[in-house]
Amino acid sequence: KWDVTTGIPDISGKVAIVTGAKYVSIYYSNPCAQTLISSVGIGWHVANQLALHAAKVYVGTRSAVKANDGIAELRNASGGKSLDLRPLVIDLLDFKQVSLCAKEFVKNKSRLDILVNNAGLWASCHLH
């Protein structure tokens, strides 16, 4: 049986971009209590495993705040392991900004080995 924690080969030196790897804390209030719900999805777990296996991971989100929140939670979950995590601000609804971001990435980085396009978009947003 394959195990995600031991089945990933050595990927040290690989460069990855993972979109949708943000960490969101939502407080749900009801008459009895306030509950913290943490939204950690597929992108967060993919970024986590890539980073834990020594890849350099760019956490792609629409804002630096979301990227840095995701990175902070990835570091908290690492058990003190050194992770190479970087924020990458990219709004996938803005195709001009996506193009500029891609050109800048290619210009300044020597490689991209892994691309995980996990960010979700609402179908009703800005699609005309």
Alpha-carbon torsion (1, 15, 87, 91), positive or negative: negative
- pTM given for the model: 0.79
**Beta pairing partners, 38:** 25
Of 9, 15, 13, the closest CA to residue 109 belongs to 15
Could you read off the pLDDT tens digit of each residue along the chain, which spans 128 residues?
A: 888 778 888 899 999 999 887 665 555 555 555 444 444 678 888 899 999 999 999 998 888 988 898 899 899 988 889 999 999 998 888 899 999 999 999 999 889 999 998 876 555 555 54
